[in-house]
């Protein structure tokens, strides 16, 4: 019997984890807008995809979406990602119809010039561009003509404030970039907001694998897609207090540090295609981290390492320090060009991150010893 069981386990791991249907969902999910504070648009897609693989679901007052597998157990485990993307807010409209903005999250103003945007107004989406005068026409010193929040603006093809208002654009309307999913050479994917909708995709895939492989967990699993991470981990703070989990496994993105403009002595050595990144840091529970590392070793899943300082800068911090403390670990997806419209990830890292979370959940039990002393 033992031999047959091991054979079955090998069969489950054979071939790619993702499917044609799941990749179609990923493309739709990436191409859909989900800006901070307006995550509902993406959460609807995510819950629809997740629904066949869970037993229950709920949405909290600010839009964090949760699917539950095996509900009602005294021991509760969370796998978590965040649903929001960086964006802009309409802040001021000039008399001649140019639109100035405020940041909504850590959006990079230096990449804005020349990019196309969607303004989500009261009458629907209005297309626009971050207009930027030609290099030989810009007035001022070089230091005065570089992109800054105060000098980048949107042109929607109108020439008066009234025409802007007639389009349904108002102060507070959220603005997202138009760029979407694409495939590059050597199994690289590129898109807007892989930070961190790729995490939402991967935790949904874990739920799918558990369902399709008919796995029965000895605890309740909460599959959490949290809101408002980009402006201070706010969604995770709220949902951690509500669920009160015993263990949290958080997935987010981390920097591929191979680009010549990144200092590895500061950011460490992490590269796309070489496996998910594990990290040491105060919020990361050492025994849970060692447990995940052992799973990776046993399952021959490649991992990389980072050291983090006072905080992880991810929802891990919110779960770790919530309630009476929750053993938490961070499993990160290597990514190039974070907070741009061309965030880049590798197919192998998606597969291996999903595998690592899935295998960790199968090994974890309420009796797993996570006590420091």
> Residue 84 in 3-state DSSP?
coil
Per this entry, what is the length of the chain?
Answer: 373
The per-residue b/e assignment along 146-178, b for 16 or more CB within 10 angstroms, e otherwise, is ebeeeebbbbbebeebeebeebebeeebbbbbb
Q: What are the strands of the beta sheet with 188-191, ordered from one edge?
A: 182-183, 188-191, 343-346
Backbone angles phi, psi at 191, to 5 degrees: 180, 175
In sequence order, what DSSP letters do the residues of 265-331 get, joined into one string? HHH----TTS-PEEEE-TTS-HHHHHHHHHHHHHTT---EEEE--S--SSTHHHHHTSTT---EEEE
CA–CA separation, 271 and 281 (whole Å): 20
Question: Which residues are tagged catalytic?
Answer: 229
H helices within the chain, ranges in order? 2-13, 20-31, 40-50, 161-166, 194-212, 234-243, 264-267, 286-298, 316-320, 347-363
């Amino acid at each position: 019997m033992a031999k047959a069981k091991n054979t079955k386990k090998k069969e489950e791991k054979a071939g790619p984890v993702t499917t044609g249907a799941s990749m179609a969902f990923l493309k739709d999910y990436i191409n859909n807008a989900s800006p901070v504070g307006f995550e509902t648009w993406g959460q609807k897609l995510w819950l629809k995809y997740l629904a066949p693989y869970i037993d229950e679901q709920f949405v909290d007052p600010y839009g964090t979406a949760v699917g539950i597998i095996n509900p009602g157990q005294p021991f509760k485990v969370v796998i978590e990602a965040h649903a929001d993307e960086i964006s802009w807010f309409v802040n001021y409209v000039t008399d001649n119809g140019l639109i100035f903005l405020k940041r909504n999250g850590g959006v990079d103003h230096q990449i804005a010039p020349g990019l196309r945007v969607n303004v989500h107004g009261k009458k629907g989406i209005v297309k626009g561009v971050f207009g930027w005068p030609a290099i030989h026409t810009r007035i001022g010193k070089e230091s005065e003509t570089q992109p800054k929040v105060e000098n980048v603006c949107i042109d929607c093809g109108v020439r008066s404030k009234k025409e802007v208002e007639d389009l349904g654009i108002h102060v507070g309307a959220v603005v997202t970039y138009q760029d979407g999913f694409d495939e590059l050479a050597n199994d690289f994917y590129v898109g807007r907001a892989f930070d961190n909708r790729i995490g939402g995709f991967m935790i949904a895939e874990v739920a799918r694998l558990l369902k399709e492989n008919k796995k029965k967990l000895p605890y309740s699993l909460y599959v959490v897609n949290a809101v408002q991470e980009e402006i201070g981990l706010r969604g995770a703070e709220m949902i951690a207090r509500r669920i009160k989990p015993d263990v949290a496994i958080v997935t987010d993105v981390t920097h591929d540090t191979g680009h010549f403009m990144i200092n590895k002595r500061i950011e460490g050595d992490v590269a796309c295609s070489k496996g998910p990144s594990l990290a040491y840091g105060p919020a990361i529970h050492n025994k849970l981290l060692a447990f995940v590392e052992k799973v990776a070793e046993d399952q021959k899943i490649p991992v990389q390492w980072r050291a983090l300082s006072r905080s992880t800068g991810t929802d891990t911090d919110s779960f770790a320090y919530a309630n009476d403390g929750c053993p938490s670990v961070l499993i990160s997806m290597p990514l190039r060009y974070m907070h741009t419209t061309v965030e880049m990830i590798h197919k192998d890292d998606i597969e291996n991150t999903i595998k690592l979370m899935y295998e960790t959940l199968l090994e974890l039990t309420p009796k797993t010893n996570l006590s420091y002393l």
